[in-house]
């Protein structure tokens, strides 16, 4: 730890308790940071691509998660290292922004760091490296734009969308029925999409899972599925043309927020209070009835007495419905969420063509289906699967597929997958590097090398000879001037990704490159790491 | 330079071969654990809980065994999970599914040793599973059209399921019991309407199926013990002190006289409530909550049978069978639907007195009273019977049937073998391995019965090379026998679920190449 001295030669304390802190400076700091970043990338590297392996993660509570979704792995990994955390953030932001390519972005950043280390060893200043990377990334992004394709789809012809989602799903555990799932995802997105404004609100798609059955039983419900049942076992299980009152107030006597006491000191008071109480329940049910509701969905619970009254008046009810679900139901049925009984009016009721309760398996699990809603813009993807892990993994995969479909609706440009876009960018950057004067040239060339690492990892995971394959594909691309050659991971027999129908969204790819570059730049700028001592 | 620490303290990371090895070992250990319980001659396990009392459970139900284990190995947890799901979904085959997944992994381990990539193995397994499923579909028999035959199918399935359980001594008797109970459901899979009451004492043979409903409660003192043509009101209401529910209400008095007055008012209120209930014209009142002495006395005066504290299930079931509503308010007697039954009486089973409702409106529900020497025995009997009921109710819906005794496994193995021969490439090794894993199930059944498994399996395989054979392992005589003649059948749905979930689980474990274990959450030291 460096010490400073004043003019009389006395040591000068800069940091609080500095002798207990460890400190890394200069090249050492760079190297430590780079190796941490690479360690994270190394973990994810084997999960890349359709033949990527899964990771098994055991949470602090002992639950097991099996996944190959980069963002999930990193999130669950409990990383302690600061730089490691940066990488986790990186994959998370890719997840938020794009929803797919979370593994690729981390592998890319790892490769960039690896190349940077070599340059640093040769004595190139980190800032120059960072600048070179920045230039290279701009070239890559522009190049991607050039090699991208517009592709057409419409409501009637969803095939291209389905194909893209299938590419995303093919790297997941659910490849077995990627076709079905891709179709479900595309239909769900189209159901809620606003094609005019090119916008999709993914909040309107609810993904619900229930253990049991087969993956093939997964279905798309045009409506809402709620994991609840009717509050009274004898209420009707099937309601047609339901008018739904959506309440956030409990069926209970009011509880004013201000503290108060009702004193009972005479028999009369006791009796009036009793009558009052009964009236409350009666009034509440009556108000619902008067508004014309045929189904009550309530955020809170209700008393046995109220329950019976509802049952008695032939007004089916569902209790303890969560806030998010309540909102979705309100959107789907076109109803309003009503916080007070007095405000219940016929206009505020939601409408649904069919509400039914469905039971599963040998256990008494039941779920409520609300279908044929007035506003069919809310849908539910209902996942079935062999076990909880499978369902969780399917949920994550479906989420990725949904994001991809959404991105395509927002921007229908695509690039081809299988590493072809990376290889093509790498070639373009390599060519640009030679024209660039100055030290940055080396960094730009290093960037090109880093881009190669994605197809390398892909072919490695697919059990191909990585260097051979890459060299072959690269020369093929240059020779035929065709940027669609990539790694043939599935052993189909052709390297042409256009023929294989493997594509990814343009914005996803661009985002990957930009995010990875940004994080690497940030890491490269750190030259001093001060850590407090372990206590 | 190596990174000193990427993860938090105590978090561990295992990679590549080591990770794979850890999951194979864990999964196989679990499979080996339950392996010996497979088949009619399988052995039981004693499970002792760590909780208070160190309760002991004796069982050979795979799901029950695995549920009670504390497992640290993540791969093993996957297997426990599939057995749980199998239990929820079809109710039986919980052991088979774990054993099959374990055997698949055992084969996969050999293949990875031979440097075949896990992804190739998975591809092979998938093809094999598909082919096996097709083979099953072809061979499945459906006797839905013929009610006579269908019933005998059900009977056979029930007997096969029970033969591996504690009830095997009286399997015919219990199979009949289970089939009767399920047939009453008329196709619904709602097993809630079948109530199982366990009463220690007597022997298993004394168990019986009752067409009515039995409530494990006593009749209030001084009330009629026998009611014919009963009108029943099923209620869920407070019959102790009916509190005022308005928030913040409290009683504040300044003299003893006032207290007495209010007490009187309370009593009056209760009396009114009771009067209202009586006004329904009932002669039996069943409440989920407690009934205090005072209202009970009032009921007794009115000659009404009052039953207190029937639990949630009891109430719902009773409402279901008698066809009445569950009421909580009593102001409009005309609109409350009352339940009816021909006869309510107190019966004695062993030492205990129970209330028996017979001649109920809904014919679906019934009660099975289990008798047995000890509570462990009864618990196990209940589990066995539950398995049988689950399988039967699923079979009623999906009436396809297969033969048992290792027959379906051999059929699948044969088809899968054929497929392996036709498939070029490395995948064929995996397909072959799949068939070996399938064959290991009859092997284990034979081993558990103390038979010469190698000899038997080879005979069985030769037998299966002929067209249309019904050969399977006859554990009783210790040879290869005709399963159709022996009447050993299994439900198609169970077999299919076993096949699919076992493959799925094996696939999931195979795909893993790294295990990251987070630091266990610290718990406060509790004394």
Q: What pLDDT is stored for residue A112 in this prediction?
A: 93
Whether residue B526 has pLDDT greater than 60:
no
What stretches of B140-187 show up as alpha helix (H) in DSSP?
Answer: 147-163, 171-185
Pairing of strands B339-349, B305-307: unpaired
Confidence class of residue B243 from pLDDT cuts 50, 70 and 90? low
CATH number at residue A158: 3.30.260.10
Active site residue B94: yes
Whether residue B1 has pLDDT greater than 70:
no
Give, as one character, the DSSP assignment of residue A202. Answer: G
Task: Write the CA distances from A525 to A15, A27, A373, integer angstroms.
Answer: 21, 11, 55
Contacting residues of A for B2, CB less than 8 Å apart: 35
Structure tokens at A483: 């940027």
The one catalytic residue among A103, A164, A505, A517: A103
A387 and A365 in a common domain: no
A134 and A30 in a common domain: yes
Of A255, A10, A432, nearest to B247 by C-alpha is A255
The segment with the largest mean pLDDT, out of A265-269, A499-503, B121-125, is B121-125
A133 vs A170, residue with greater confidence: A133
- Which residues constitute the domain of residue A291? 223-375
Average pLDDT rounded to a whole number, residues B37-50: 82
User: Which of A220-224, A297-301, B483-487, B517-521 is the least confident region?
Assistant: B517-521
A311 and A403 in a common domain: no
A63 vs B506, residue with greater confidence: B506
A286 and A205 in a common domain: no
Distance CA A126, CA A450 (A): 16
Name A352's bridge partners: A242, A373
E-strand stretches of B212-338: 213-215, 226-235, 249-251, 284-287, 305-307, 326-327
Q: What pLDDT is stored for residue B489 in this prediction?
A: 85
* ipTM of this predicted structure: 0.73
Residue A15 counted as domain residue: no
Which among B19, B516, B521 is the nearest to A77, CB-wise? B516
Average pLDDT rounded to a whole number, residues A136-147: 92
Average pLDDT rounded to a whole number, residues B235-262: 70
Whether residue B94 has pLDDT greater than 80:
yes
Mind listing the pLDDT tens digit for each residue in B371-426? 888 888 888 888 888 888 888 888 887 788 888 888 888 889 999 999 999 988 88
Q: Are B470 and B160 in contact (CB under 8 A)?
A: no
- Rounded to 5 degrees, φ, ψ at B232 are -110, 135
Task: Write the CA distances from B47 to B31, B33, B77, B78, integer angstroms.
Answer: 17, 12, 18, 21
Total beta-carbon pairs less than 8 A apart between chain A and chain B:
234
A173 and A64 in a common domain: no
Which among A43, A256, A361 is the nearest to B88, CB-wise? A361
Q: Is B500 on the interface with A (CB under 8 A)?
A: yes
Residue A9 counted as domain residue: no
Confidence class of residue A513 from pLDDT cuts 50, 70 and 90? very high
- Binary contact (A53, B264; C-beta < 8 A): no
A231 and A371 in a common domain: yes
Mind listing the pLDDT tens digit for each residue in B466-489? 877 888 888 878 888 888 888 888
Residue A33 counted as domain residue: yes
A288 and A268 in a common domain: yes
Residue A485 counted as domain residue: yes
CATH number at residue A100: 1.10.560.10
Structure tokens at A147: 């090699």
User: Which of A17-21, A359-363, A516-520, B41-45 is the least confident region?
Assistant: A359-363
Q: How many CA atoms lie within 13 A of B11 on its CB side?
A: 21
Q: Are B235 and B286 in contact (CB under 8 A)?
A: yes
A420 and A321 in a common domain: no
Contacting residues of A for B69, CB less than 8 Å apart: none
Distance CA A205, CA A208 (A): 10
Confidence class of residue B2 from pLDDT cuts 50, 70 and 90? very low
Residue A4 counted as domain residue: no
Name A212's bridge partners: A385
Which residues 303-362 of chain B have a CB within 8 Å of chain A?
A: 316, 319-320, 325-329, 331-332, 335-336
A460 and A400 in a common domain: no
Residue A251 counted as domain residue: yes
Structure tokens at B446: 């034979």
Chain centroid offset of residue A152 CA: 25
Q: Are A439 and A453 in contact (CB under 8 A)?
A: no
Of A428, A340, A486, nearest to A141 by C-alpha is A428
Distance CA B110, CA A262 (A): 77
Give, as one character, the DSSP assignment of residue A533. Answer: P
Q: What pLDDT is stored for residue A257 in this prediction?
A: 67
Q: What pLDDT is stored for residue A296 in this prediction?
A: 85
B330 Ramachandran zone, left/alpha/beta (phi>0; psi -120 to 50):
alpha
Q: Is B23 on the interface with A (CB under 8 A)?
A: yes
Query: What is the overall mean pLDDT for chain B?
Result: 80
Average pLDDT rounded to a whole number, residues A432-439: 88
Which among B85, B189, B191 is the nearest to A387, CB-wise? B85
Contacting residues of A for B118, CB less than 8 Å apart: 53
Q: What pLDDT is stored for residue A364 in this prediction?
A: 59
Q: Is B398 on the interface with A (CB under 8 A)?
A: no
The proportion of chain A whose per-residue pLDDT surpasses 70, expressed as a percent, equals 93
Q: For residue B164, with 0-12 CB atoms within 10 Å meaning exposed, 13-18 middle and 19 or more buried, which class applies?
A: buried
Distance CA B69, CA B58 (A): 14
Q: What pLDDT is stored for residue A414 in this prediction?
A: 85
Active site residue B160: no
Whether residue A226 has pLDDT greater than 60:
yes
A273 and A369 in a common domain: yes
Whether residue A510 has pLDDT greater than 70:
yes
Q: Are A52 and A487 in contact (CB under 8 A)?
A: no
A347 and A241 in a common domain: yes
Contacting residues of A for B265, CB less than 8 Å apart: 267, 270-271
Name A414's bridge partners: A149, A505
Residue A14 counted as domain residue: no
Which residues 229-258 of chain A have a CB within 8 Å of chain B?
A: 232-234, 252-256
Total domain count, chain A: 3
Q: What pLDDT is stored for residue B426 in this prediction?
A: 85
B369 vs A253, residue with greater confidence: B369
Q: Is A217 on the interface with B (CB under 8 A)?
A: no
To 10 degrees, the CA torsion angle through B302, B307, B308, B314? -150
DSSP secondary structure letters along A278-330: HHHHHHHHHHHHHHT-SEEEESS-B-HHHHHHHHHTT--EE----HHHHHHHH
Task: Write the CA distances from A333 to A246, A250, A321, A350, A391, integer angstroms.
Answer: 10, 21, 15, 5, 27
Place of tokens 């992804």: B119
A364 and A235 in a common domain: yes
Whether residue A348 has pLDDT greater than 50:
yes
Confidence class of residue B527 from pLDDT cuts 50, 70 and 90? very low
Sign of the torsion angle spanned by Cα atoms B129, B134, B137, B138: negative
Confidence class of residue B362 from pLDDT cuts 50, 70 and 90? low
B335 vs B228, residue with greater confidence: B228
DSSP secondary structure letters along A64-121: EEEE--HHHHHHHT-B-SHHHHHHHHHHHHHHHHTSS-HHHHHHHHHHHHHHHHHHHH
Whether residue B104 has pLDDT greater than 90:
yes
- Binary contact (B251, A264; C-beta < 8 A): yes
To 10 degrees, the CA torsion angle through B443, B449, B454, B460? -70
Contacting residues of A for B261, CB less than 8 Å apart: 266-267
Confidence class of residue A425 from pLDDT cuts 50, 70 and 90? very high
Residue A78 counted as domain residue: yes
Which among B88, B327, B511 is the nearest to A53, CB-wise? B511
The proportion of chain B whose per-residue pLDDT surpasses 90, expressed as a percent, equals 7
């Amino acid at each position: 730890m460096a010490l400073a001295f004043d003019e009389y030669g006395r040591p000068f304390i800069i940091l609080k308790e500095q002798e207990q802190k460890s400190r890394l400076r200069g090249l050492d700091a760079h190297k430590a940071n780079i190796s941490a970043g690479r360690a994270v990338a190394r973990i994810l590297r084997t999960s890349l691509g359709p033949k990527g392996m899964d990771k098994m993660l055991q949470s602090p509570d002992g639950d097991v998660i099996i996944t190959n979704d980069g963002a999930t792995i990193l999130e669950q990994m409990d990383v302690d290292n600061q730089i490691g955390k940066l990488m986790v953030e990186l994959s998370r932001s890719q997840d938020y922004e794009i929803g797919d390519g979370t593994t690729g972005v981390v592998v890319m950043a790892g490769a960039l760091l690896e190349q940077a280390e070599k340059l640093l060893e040769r004595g190139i200043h980190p800032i120059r490296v960072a600048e070179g990377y920045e230039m290279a990334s701009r070239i890559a992004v522009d190049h991607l734009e050039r090699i991208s394709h517009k592709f057409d789809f419409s409501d009637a012809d969803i095939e291209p969308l389905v194909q893209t989602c299938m590419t995303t799903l093919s790297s997941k555990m659910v490849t077995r029925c990627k076709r079905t799932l891709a179709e479900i995802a595309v239909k769900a997105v189209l159901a809620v999409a606003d094609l005019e404004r090119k916008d999709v609100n993914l909040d309107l798609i609810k993904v619900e899972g229930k253990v049991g059955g087969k993956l093939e039983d997964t279905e798309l419900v045009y409506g809402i599925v709620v994991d609840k049942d009717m509050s009274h076992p004898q209420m009707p299980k099937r309601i047609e043309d339901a008018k739904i009152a959506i309440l956030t107030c409990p069926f209970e006597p009011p509880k004013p927020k201000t503290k108060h006491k009702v004193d009972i000191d005479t028999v009369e008071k006791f009796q009036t209070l009793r009558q009052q109480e009964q009236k409350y329940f009666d009034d509440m049910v009556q108000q619902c009835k008067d508004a014309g509701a045929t189904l009550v969905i309530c955020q809170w619970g209700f008393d046995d007495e109220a329950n019976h009254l509802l049952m008695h008046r032939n007004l089916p009810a569902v209790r303890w419905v969560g806030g998010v679900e309540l909102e979705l139901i309100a959107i789907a049925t076109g109803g309003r969420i009503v916080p007070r009984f007095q405000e219940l009016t016929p206009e505020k009721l939601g409408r649904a063509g069919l509400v039914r309760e469905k039971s599963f398996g040998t256990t008494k699990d039941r779920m409520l289906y609300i279908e044929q809603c007035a506003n069919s813009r809310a849908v539910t993807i209902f996942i079935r699967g062999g076990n909880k892990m499978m369902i969780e993994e399917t949920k994550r995969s479906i989420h990725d597929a949904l994001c991809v479909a959404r991105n395509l609706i927002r921007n229908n440009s695509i690039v081809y997958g299988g590493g072809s876009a990376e290889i093509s960018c790498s070639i373009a950057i390599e060519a640009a590097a030679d024209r660039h004067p100055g030290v940055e040239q080396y960094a730009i060339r290093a960037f090109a090398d880093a881009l190669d690492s994605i197809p390398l990892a892909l072919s490695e995971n697919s059990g191909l000879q990585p260097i051979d394959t890459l060299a072959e594909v690269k020369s093929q691309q240059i020779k035929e001037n065709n940027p669609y050659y990539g790694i043939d991971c599935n052993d189909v027999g052709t390297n042409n990704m256009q023929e294989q129908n493997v594509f990814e969204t343009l914005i996803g790819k661009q985002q990957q490159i930009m995010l990875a570059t940004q994080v690497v730049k940030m890491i490269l700028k750190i030259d001093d790491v001060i850590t407090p001592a372990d206590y | 330079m190596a990174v000193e620490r990427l993860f938090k303290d105590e978090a561990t990371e295992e990679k590549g071969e080591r990770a794979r090895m850890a999951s194979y070992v864990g999964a196989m250990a679990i499979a080996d654990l339950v392996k010996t319980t497979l088949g009619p001659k399988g052995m039981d396990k004693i499970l002792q809980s760590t909780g208070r009392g160190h309760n002991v459970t004796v069982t050979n139900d795979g799901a029950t065994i695995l549920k009670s284990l504390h497992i640290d190995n993540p791969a093993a947890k996957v297997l426990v999970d599939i057995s749980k799901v199998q239990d929820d979904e079809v109710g039986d085959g919980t052991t088979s599914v774990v054993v099959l997944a374990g055997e698949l992994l055992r084969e996969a381990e050999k293949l990875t040793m031979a440097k075949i990539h896990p992804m190739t193995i998975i591809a092979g397994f998938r093809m094999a599973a598909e082919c096996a499923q097709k083979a099953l579909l072809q061979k499945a028999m459906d006797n839905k059209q013929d009610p006579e035959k269908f019933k005998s199918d059900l009977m056979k399935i029930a007997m096969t399921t029970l033969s591996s359980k504690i009830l095997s001594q009286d399997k015919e008797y219990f199979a009949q019991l289970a089939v009767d109970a399920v047939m009453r459901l008329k196709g619904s899979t709602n097993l809630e309407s079948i109530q199982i009451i366990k009463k220690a004492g007597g022997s298993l043979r004394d168990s019986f199926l009752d067409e009515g409903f039995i409530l494990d409660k006593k009749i209030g003192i001084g009330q009629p013990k026998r009611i014919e043509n009963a009108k029943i009101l099923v209620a869920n209401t407070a019959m102790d002190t009916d509190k005022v529910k308005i928030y913040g209400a409290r009683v504040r008095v300044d003299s003893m006289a006032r207290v007495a007055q209010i007490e009187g008012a309370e009593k009056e209120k209760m009396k009114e409530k009771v009067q209202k209930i009586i006004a329904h014209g009932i002669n039996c009142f069943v409440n989920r909550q407690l009934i205090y002495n005072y209202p009970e006395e009032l009921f007794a005066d009115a000659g009404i049978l009052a039953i207190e504290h029937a639990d949630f299930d009891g109430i719902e079931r009773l409402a279901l069978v008698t066809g009445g509503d569950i009421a909580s308010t009593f102001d409009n007697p005309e609109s409350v639907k009352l339940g009816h039954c021909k006869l309510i009486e107190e019966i004695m089973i062993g030492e205990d007195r129970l209330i028996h409702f017979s001649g109920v409106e809904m014919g679906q529900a019934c009660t099975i009273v289990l008798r047995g020497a000890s509570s462990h025995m009864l618990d196990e009997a209940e589990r066995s019977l539950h398995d049988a009921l689950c399988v039967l109710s699923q079979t009623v819906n999906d009436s396809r049937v297969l033969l048992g005794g290792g027959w379906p496994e051999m059929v699948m193995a044969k088809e899968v073998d054929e497929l392996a021969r036709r498939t070029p490439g490395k995948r064929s090794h995996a397909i072959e391995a799949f068939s070996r894993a399938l064959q290991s199930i009859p092997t284990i059944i034979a081993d558990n019965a103390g038979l010469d498994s190698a000899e038997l399996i080879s005979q069985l395989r030769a037998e299966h090379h002929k067209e249309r054979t019904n050969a399977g392992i006859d554990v009783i005589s210790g040879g290869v026998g005709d399963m159709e003649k022996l009447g050993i059948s299994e439900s198609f749905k169970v077999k299919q679920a076993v096949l699919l979930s076992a493959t799925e689980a094996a696939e999931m474990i195979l795909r893993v190449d790294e295990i990251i274990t987070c630091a266990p959450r610290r718990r406060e030291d509790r004394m």
